[in-house]
Amino acid sequence: MRTVLLALAMSALAIAHAQAQTQAQPDVCEVPEYLTHVEGKFARVPTAVRKDHRLLVLVIGTGSSSLAGPEGARSAYPARLEAALASRLPQASVKVVTDVKGRRTAAEMAAAVAQLVRDEKPDLVIWQTGTVDAMRGVDPDEFRATLEKGVATARAAGADVVLMNMQYSPRTETMIADQAYADAMHSVAQQQDVPLFDRFSVMRHWSETGTFDLSGRDRSRIAEKVHDCLGKLLAELIVDTAQLDRNSSKDNR
């Protein structure tokens, strides 16, 4: 009997230790609040979720919004965003569609915005841009004007907008002069009262803290983890900006 009791006690201690270890492990996606706190507001998203019980998100981006390989589409942040939103908003039908093509400037994407929002009828547009313009040396003032026009076009079609800036890479940090474009995106976000997801600063934080080795050899595996975290943080931004919670889609039923 004493042997049985001792075994049970040891088993209980082992379970408690495992639970403590799990609780002690930090969330690798976690970043300081100042990196994800955003200004801006939504007009369409709260209504779409609370009254229509749906949320259609359109991601417009370049190559950094996708991943290579047979599982790339499932692992890239748009798909991870859809999964995270579906978890956060279980009573709403969530779908994320994409228009992702490499090497496009903001102007080239803006030219397609009007047709895209007419075709897809999204509640929210996430516009990822900046890197290609910086690489090509597009005039920052022209870049800013393009952003303003694209945001206005999406809003006129009834969609909310989130701007997302360039990704961070230790390998290209000193090669691409992107500060002027990052500043332009911050300026447009403030003036147009739209949220800006600061992907650059978030990824730089992960790199500098050693959370993810963005210059390491196993880039494919790291990229999948980074994209998963980006999707989760984007979902958090959307839910917080729209002032939604897990039960919000049940409102007004």
How high is the pLDDT of residue 14?
A: 47
Strands in the chain per DSSP E: 54-61, 93-100, 124-128, 160-164, 196-197
Domain for residue 180, yes or no? yes
Domain for residue 144, yes or no? yes
Return d(Cα 113, Cα 42) in angstroms, integer: 18
Query: Which CATH number covers residue 131?
Result: 3.40.50.1110
How high is the pLDDT of residue 79?
A: 98
How high is the pLDDT of residue 246?
A: 52
Q: Is the pLDDT of residue 171 over 60?
A: yes
With both helix axes pointing from N to C terminus, report the angle between 140-156 and 179-192 in degrees, rounded to the nearest 10: 30
**How many domains does the chain fold into?**
1
Domain for residue 3, yes or no? no
Return d(Cα 58, Cα 188) in angstroms, integer: 20
Return d(Cα 160, Cα 126) in angstroms, integer: 9
* Residue 21: CB atoms within 10 Å: 9
- What's the distance, Cα to Cα, between the start and end of the chain in Å? 57
Domain for residue 232, yes or no? yes
Q: What is the pLDDT of residues 140-162, one digit of tens each?
A: 999 999 999 999 999 999 999 99
**SS in 3 state form for 167-201?**
CCCCCCCCCCCCHHHHHHHHHHHHHHCCCEECHHH
Domain for residue 45, yes or no? yes
Domain for residue 8, yes or no? no
Residues 6+ apart with CB under 8 A from 85: 55, 57, 94, 96, 235, 238, 239
Per the CB < 8 A criterion, the answer to whether 93 and 244 are in contact is no
Share of the chain above pLDDT 90, in %: 77
Domain for residue 5, yes or no? no
Average pLDDT for residues 12-37, to the nearest whole number? 65
Domain for residue 15, yes or no? no
Average pLDDT for residues 121-147, to the nearest whole number? 97
Q: What is the pLDDT of residues 53-79, one digit of tens each?
A: 999 999 999 999 999 988 899 999 999
* pTM for this predicted structure: 0.86
Average pLDDT for residues 3-11, to the nearest whole number? 48
- Domain carrying residue 151: 30-245
